[in-house]
């Protein structure tokens, strides 16, 4: 299984799950948003030598060599730029990487007749939904260049499989991935200021950040703060293997699934759970709303539960405990 972006946050956890399930992952990553030492840590967790290539998805010439070297049964395409705020400032960077990377990988999928393709999409394609929970049939839109790339990439894949029916594609729309591997050796390590809540919480608790700002407490929600569907990254990793195995036995050549828990948690609930789980009091203040944030979103997971026979099993407490374990580990490592 070729895993683009396999050194990143979700990709690295998926590599572990693939190995546990008996597959041989081949990582393609140019380490633009990952540290090369993750490979060693993946070896430590799995006890296996990790096959990886330090190459960009756009480098078709070198990638052709990789596709030619191994009998590739499936591709999971994680590699992309993903920061919503940055995408507003630098949309062309997002177009070049997210469209360019996908195009070049699909060309090779076609040339080498790879039958199975899984794409990292996002609940961002639902924009600011009027009806929640969102189903796979909910209207799609976007409110940032990043969201635009996810929506267009989904459409690119749809048109591609229509022209190349040998390929079965699965679009996984992730909700908010959180947590880390139970070993605490891999997790989310943002470059600079985190965009996501949990790394911000753990960095604040570790003293890297002075305090946490809650962006608005005047939303129309029970405690006034935004609500998201936080999915444990290890559960999410397992959904990828379930998607690959489902596609191997399916006659459909394009499938779309929400991957979430089906439950919403507010920002203040996350802070409270962190404090309960770790016994650490978090310094936080209420700030103004952040531009682009929507009030509330969580998934209807009926389709993924039934079709992929997959459901989230891990709790938010487990996600918080493992993230905190990883934060402490990575602080020591980077000293």
Does residue 9 have an active-site annotation?
Answer: no
Q: Are 80 and 7 in contact (CB under 8 A)?
A: no
CB 255: neighbour CB atoms within 10 A?
A: 20
Which one, 189 or 318, has the nearer CB to ligand NAD? 189
Structure-token match 């995408």, residue found = 87
HSE on the CB side for 74, CA within 13 Å? 23
| Residue 293 burial class via C-beta count within 10 angstroms: exposed 0-12, middle 13-18, buried 19 and up | middle
Q: Which one of the listed residues 146, 219, 230, 298 is annotated catalytic?
A: 146
In the bound complex, what is the minimum distance in angstroms from residue 281's beta carbon to ligand NAD? 26
In the bound complex, what is the minimum distance in angstroms from residue 100's beta carbon to ligand NAD? 7
Structure-token match 């996810």, residue found = 150
Sheet holding 254-259, edge to edge: 51-54, 26-29, 2-4, 74-77, 116-122, 168-174, 254-259
Which one, 18 or 79, has the nearer CB to ligand NAD? 79
In the bound complex, what is the minimum distance in angstroms from residue 279's beta carbon to ligand NAD? 27
How far apart are the C-alpha atoms of 30 and 176, rounded to whole Å?
Answer: 24
In the bound complex, what is the minimum distance in angstroms from residue 8's beta carbon to ligand NAD? 2
Which one, 87 or 225, has the nearer CB to ligand NAD? 87
Collapse the DSSP code of 190 into the 3-class scheme (helix H, G, I; strand E, B; otherwise coil) and give the result. coil
Instruction: Name the token pair of 103.
Output: 């195009």
Which one, 188 or 318, has the nearer CB to ligand NAD? 188
Q: Are 213 and 282 in contact (CB under 8 A)?
A: no
Closest residue to ligand NAD: CB criterion: 8
Collapse the DSSP code of 2 into the 3-class scheme (helix H, G, I; strand E, B; otherwise coil) and give the result. strand
In the bound complex, what is the minimum distance in angstroms from residue 303's beta carbon to ligand NAD? 18
Point out which residues bind ligand NAD (CB under 6 A).
4-5, 7-11, 28-34, 56-58, 78-80, 82, 97, 101, 120, 122, 174, 176-177, 196
How far apart are the C-alpha atoms of 317 and 111, rounded to whole Å?
Answer: 45
Residue positions annotated with a catalytic role: 146
């Amino acid at each position: 299984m070729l895993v683009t972006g396999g050194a990143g946050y979700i990709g690295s956890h998926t590599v572990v799950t693939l190995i546990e399930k008996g597959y041989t992952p081949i990582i393609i990553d140019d380490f633009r948003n990952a540290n090369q030492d993750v490979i060693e840590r993946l070896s430590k967790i799995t006890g296996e030598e990790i096959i990886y290539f330090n190459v960009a998805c756009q480098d078709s010439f070198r990638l052709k060599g990789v596709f030619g070297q191994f009998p590739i049964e499936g591709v999971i395409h994680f590699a992309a730029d993903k920061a919503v705020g940055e995408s507003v400032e630098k949309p062309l960077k997002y177009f070049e990487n997210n469209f360019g990377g996908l195009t070049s990988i699909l060309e090779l999928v076609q040339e080498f007749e790879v039958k199975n393709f899984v794409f990292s999409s996002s609940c961002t394609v639902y924009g600011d939904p009027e009806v929640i929970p969102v189903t796979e049939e909910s209207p799609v839109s976007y409110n940032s260049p990043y969201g635009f790339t996810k929506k267009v990439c989904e459409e690119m894949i749809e048109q591609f499989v229509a022209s190349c029916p040998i390929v079965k594609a699965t679009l996984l729309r992730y909700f908010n991935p959180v947590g880390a591997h139970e070993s605490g050796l891999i997790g989310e390590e943002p470059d600079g200021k985190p965009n996501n809540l949990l790394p911000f919480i753990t960095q604040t608790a570790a003293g890297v950040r002075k305090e946490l700002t809650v962006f608005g407490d005047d939303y129309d929600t029970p405690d006034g703060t935004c609500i998201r569907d936080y999915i444990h990254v290890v559960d999410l990793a397992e959904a990828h293997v379930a998607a690959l195995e489902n596609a191997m036995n399916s006659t459909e050549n394009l499938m779309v699934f929400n991957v979430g828990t089906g439950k919403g948690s507010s920002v203040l609930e996350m802070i409270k759970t962190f404090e309960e789980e770790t016994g650490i009091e978090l310094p936080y203040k209420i700030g103004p709303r952040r531009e682009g944030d929507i009030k509330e979103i969580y998934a209807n997971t009926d389709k993924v539960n039934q079709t992929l026979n997959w459901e989230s099993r891990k709790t938010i407490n487990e996600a918080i405990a493992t993230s905190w374990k990883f934060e402490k580990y990575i602080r020591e490592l980077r000293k």
